[in-house]
Amino acid sequence: MPFHFRLLGKDRIALYSFIHSLSTNFGTTIFEPVAKSLALLNFANAELQQTAGVLISSEAQKVIQNIMDNLTTANSEPNKIQEIEAIRSVCQKGEMRTIKPTKVDLKLTANDGATYLFDIKTAKPNAGGFKEFKRTLLEWTAAVFAVNPTANIHTLIAIPYNPYEPQPYNRWTM
């Protein structure tokens, strides 16, 4: 990072790198285990660092891309129920393709069999990050449906704390 070193100095870059490393490690060493422990109080099962699935249909990929395009161009508003049903309707149509989706940070199974997949994020992701998070959640849904089209699936982004406290969280950029 020669530009950054010259602009900010090695000491500031070293401090930034250390703080960034701490923030990243909090997710796996603190937030995820605490979330799992709390979840086990009310859920039948809780697992860390799971895979949503490895297959997705070509038609589901098209639906996901269409959803993303419409949201990006503001041609539609987010509607998770409609998005899930649109993916469900094509989840086993077309060619089944092998994918390597982002790992699920926390997977919960409710007593009624519903599955909750969480992606735990830092408190202030950028706008581009939110777009990728949305795509990840849609791909997880399609991967679960590729195996079980009738699954009761809930995909969520979890932000472990509100840096704006006592004000409401206000970083929703998509």
* For the chain, domain boundaries: 42-174
Strand (E) or helix (H) holding 107: strand 104-109
For 13-64, write each residue's pLDDT tens digit: 777 777 777 766 766 678 899 999 999 999 999 999 999 999 999 999 999 9
The model's pTM: 0.83
The distance in angstroms from the start CA to the end CA of the chain is 30
For 67-114, write each residue's pLDDT tens digit: 999 988 888 888 999 999 999 999 999 999 999 989 999 999 999 999
Gap between the Cα atoms of 171 and 47, Å rounded: 28
Question: Of 134, 60, 149, 152, nearest to 97 (Cα)?
Answer: 60
Compute the C-alpha angle 76/77/80, nearest 5°. Answer: 115
Q: Which two tokens stand for residue 163?
A: 């840096």
Gap between the Cα atoms of 134 and 77, Å rounded: 13
